[in-house]
Chain A
Amino acid sequence: MVRIGTGIRDIDDFIAARGDTPPEATDVRDVEPDARALTVSSMTRNLERLAELRALRRLAARAPRDETLRSIGGAVGVEDLALFGDDG
C-alpha cells in the first residue's frame, strides 16, 4: 500500500480521507470482473481490457504512458482516477 504526501495540508487531508491506493494488477485478465478498485502501471498486461471491467469505479495508475491513458479512457465507469508520475 502506498500513500503519497504532498506536504500541503488540504491535499494530504483529502488523500488520507480516501484511504490507501487499491491493489495492483499485473494482468487485467486476472482481475475479478466485479472489481471496483484497481491500480495499474505501464507494466500491467492487457490494459485494453480495462473497458470490460464494468464495475470499476476507482483506478490508480503509476507512470502512465500514452497508451496506458488510452486504455484508461475506455474504462468509462470510473469515477475516481489518480495518476502518479509520468513515463520519465
Chain B
Amino acid sequence: MADLVPLSGLQKLRYLAISVASRLWSLDGIEGLTTLEYFSAWHCAALTSVAPLAGLRGLRYVFLDGNMYKPMRLDSLAAFAGLGDLEVLTLHNIRVRDRDLRPLHGLHKLRRLDLPDHFPVAQFAALAAALPAANGRWRSRFQSLPAPKNSDS
C-alpha cells in the first residue's frame, strides 16, 4: 500500500483509520473523499506530506503518528490551515521541518490538540494566545518553561 488512490471512489466515507502501514508514503487519493470526518494514520512513518488533506473541510478528528524510532517528517502544517471544523488534532512522533505553528492559529473549534515539543517557545506562546480553548499537554509544557530572559536587563 503506497498511496490511497484505489480508495478515491469511496464517496460516502466518513471514517478512515490506517494502522502500521510502513510503506504508505503518500496520501494521494484521499483528496476526493470530501465526506471524511475522521482520519488517522498510526505508525505510518513513511508519510512526508499531508497536503492532500487540505481540501477536506469536513474533517473533525485527525491523528497522525510516525513511530517511536522513526518519526513522520512533514515539511509544514500548512495543510491544516483551512480545516476550520477540526475539533481534535494529534501529532505524535512527528517532526515539522519549518517549525511553524501559525497554520493552526485559525482552528478555533479545536478543543484537543497534541503537539510534539520541537517548536520554538515563541511559537507555542503565539498558539496559546490564538487558541485559548485548545487543551493538551503542549500547553502545560509551554507554561512550565522558564520565562525567556529579557535581553535588556
Contact = CB atoms under 8 A, between A and B. Distances in A.
B40 A11 contact: yes
B12 interface: yes
A85 interface: yes
Contacts of A86: 1, 20-24
Given A6-B65, A8-B65, A8-B90, A73 B8 contact: yes
B63 A10 contact: yes
B42 to A, nearest CB: 5
A81 B12 contact: no
Contacts of B92: 8
A20 to B, nearest CB: 14
A80 B114 CA distance: 24
A24 B42 CA distance: 22
A76 B11 contact: yes
A74 interface: yes
Interface string B38-69: 10101000000000000000000101010000
Contacts of A14: 38, 40, 61
B13 interface: yes
Interface in B1-42: 1-2, 4, 6-24, 35, 38, 40, 42
Contacts of A66: 1-2, 6
Contacts of B114: 8, 10
A87 interface: yes
B46 to A, nearest CB: 10
B17 A81 contact: yes
A6 B42 contact: yes
The list of the 10 closest CB pairs from A to B, nearest first, reads A69-B6, A80-B15, A73-B6, A82-B17, A86-B21, A70-B6, A85-B20, A83-B18, A79-B14, A11-B63
Interface of B: 1-2, 4, 6-24, 35, 38, 40, 42, 61, 63, 65, 88, 90, 92, 112, 114
21 contacts: A6-B19, A6-B42, A6-B65, A8-B114, A10-B63, A10-B112, A11-B42, A64-B1, A69-B4, A72-B7, A72-B10, A77-B12, A79-B13, A79-B15, A79-B35, A81-B15, A82-B15, A82-B17, A83-B17, A83-B18, A86-B24
